[in-house]
Amino acid sequence: MSRLGDLGARLYRGDVSLNIVGQRRIWYVVSILITILAFAALLVRGLHMGVEFEGGAVFTTPPTQISEDEARDAVHEVSNSEPLIVTLGDDTMRIQIAGLDTDQSNETREVLAERLGIPTEDLNAEVIGPSWGKQIADRAWQGLAIFMVLVVIYLAIAFEWRMALAALIALIHDLTITVGVYALVGFEVTPGTVIGLLTILGYSLYDTVVVFDGLKETTRNVTRQSQFTYSELANRSLNGTLVRSINTSVVALLPVAGLLFIGGGVLGGGMLNDIALSLFVGLTAGAYSSIMIATPLVADFKSRDREIAANDRRVLNKRAKRAESGEEPEPAEDAPASRAAESAPAEAADEGDDPEDDGRDEAAGVGAGGQRRGPRRQPVSRGRGRGRPSGKRR
């Protein structure tokens, strides 16, 4: 078994444990600082919107030997706008100039063709109006809002509203970081960017659901035991799925990194850059938020529940009594993770428990000494019904 696989098995069994939930304030501070930097980049630099959103003209040249720098200089002579120039595979160029109407586009086409030494009729021009771009932007926001609402509804039904709220905060966290990186890098926002944003939301949500499913299973009978607090059980569950989440994220990031650094950087992919950057940043932020943000937030929300808070106090009081009496307490972070969920009801009634604990344990079917009460299973008589066709006693 590889070292990573061995670490994952040890984390799952509870042989080792990373106190992620216990140190959640550190992760909160890190996320807040990153979010502040993202908002600062948005305020200072802003987003470079493409012609699909702001309107403008797109010129496509025939195969030419003119370089991108020469084409950019020609555009600067014609217009004050900063063009986006992409060289395609057959030595043609796609030149985008924002803020041009139809008359300005025709004038720019003639002058640009003259500067590039291309016949005017060979220089293809496409004008995109600002109203169409505004419609695309509105549809993108509507799609994002609908996605968020459906996510919250699904998680509230499949799990509970606290997990749905934590997942929503994690998704907003991922979007904010991705948009902030776009503003910082200066990439153009195109429909490909919107596609990438919606895609990373799906990836981030998938990872969060995997973590929440393990959390739900581990904390199913949390109030029927007096050995672990909710935060400790949440941390155990998170450690059990930690390596799986990391492996999933790394496998998803490898092809996206190929798109970004090879397809976009080396081959000049144009819109490929927009999709790859949003995917790369979003997948990284999603892996971080599903581990460091979502589950700790659920632990914070659940700790405000009266029943959970009362059980946590009961666990801590029990440990304090053991410490005062000089008993060696069982380390809360060393027992196997599956044991917390499977044997929690059976280990709830220990010596020195409060009467309230005994009442809860008896209600859960646990007797003194940790023995579960219930009808005994009687052995089946081997000769019962032998020789009778019906198998019944007479």
Taking the C-alpha atoms of residue 285 and residue 171, their distance in angstroms, rounded to an integer, is 9
Q: Assess whether pLDDT exceeds 50 at residue 343.
A: no
- Inside any domain, residue 61: yes
Task: Give pLDDT tens digits for 279-311.
Answer: 888 888 888 988 899 999 999 999 888 899 898
Find the radius of gyration of the CA atoms of the chain. Answer: 31
Select from 303, 326, 353 the last residue of a domain: 303
DSSP helix/strand/coil, 152 = helix
Nearest to 169 by CA among 279, 294, 299, 29: 294
Count: domains in the chain: 2
- Inside any domain, residue 68: yes
- Inside any domain, residue 341: no
Average pLDDT over residues 203-213: 84
Select from 79, 104, 128 the last residue of a domain: 128
Rounded to 10 degrees, the C-alpha dihedral 7/8/12/13 comes to -30
Q: Give the Cβ contact number of residue 26 at 10 Å.
A: 12
156 and 120 in a single domain? The answer is no
CATH assignment at residue 62: 3.30.70.3400
200 and 221 in a single domain? The answer is yes
Greatest mean pLDDT among 56-65, 143-152, 258-267: 143-152
Select from 108, 128, 148 the last residue of a domain: 128
Task: Look over the chain and give the mean of its residue pLDDT values, rounded to a whole number.
Answer: 74
Task: Give pLDDT tens digits for 88-107.
Answer: 656 677 777 777 777 777 87
20 and 149 in a single domain? The answer is yes
- Inside any domain, residue 353: no
90 and 115 in a single domain? The answer is yes
- Inside any domain, residue 321: no
CB 252 within 8 A of CB 258: no
Q: Strands 188-189 and 124-128: what pairing?
A: unpaired
Nearest to 293 by CA among 202, 171, 143, 197: 171
Q: Give the Cβ contact number of residue 280 at 10 Å.
A: 22
The backbone torsions φ and ψ at residue 67, rounded to the nearest 5 degrees and listed phi first, read -80, 170
155 and 268 in a single domain? The answer is yes
- Inside any domain, residue 339: no
What pLDDT is attached to residue 133? 66
CATH assignment at residue 205: 1.20.1640.10
Greatest mean pLDDT among 25-39, 118-132, 220-234, 351-365: 25-39
30 and 138 in a single domain? The answer is yes
Lowest mean pLDDT segment, chosen from 128-142, 187-201, 352-366: 352-366
Lowest mean pLDDT segment, chosen from 6-10, 14-18, 118-122, 302-306: 6-10
* Residues 6+ positions from 237 with CB-CB distance below 8 Å: 211, 214, 215, 217, 218, 219, 295, 337
29 and 166 in a single domain? The answer is yes
- Give me the domain span that covers residue 263: 3-49+134-303
- Inside any domain, residue 387: no
Taking the C-alpha atoms of residue 323 and residue 318, their distance in angstroms, rounded to an integer, is 9
100 and 122 in a single domain? The answer is yes
Taking the C-alpha atoms of residue 163 and residue 339, their distance in angstroms, rounded to an integer, is 23
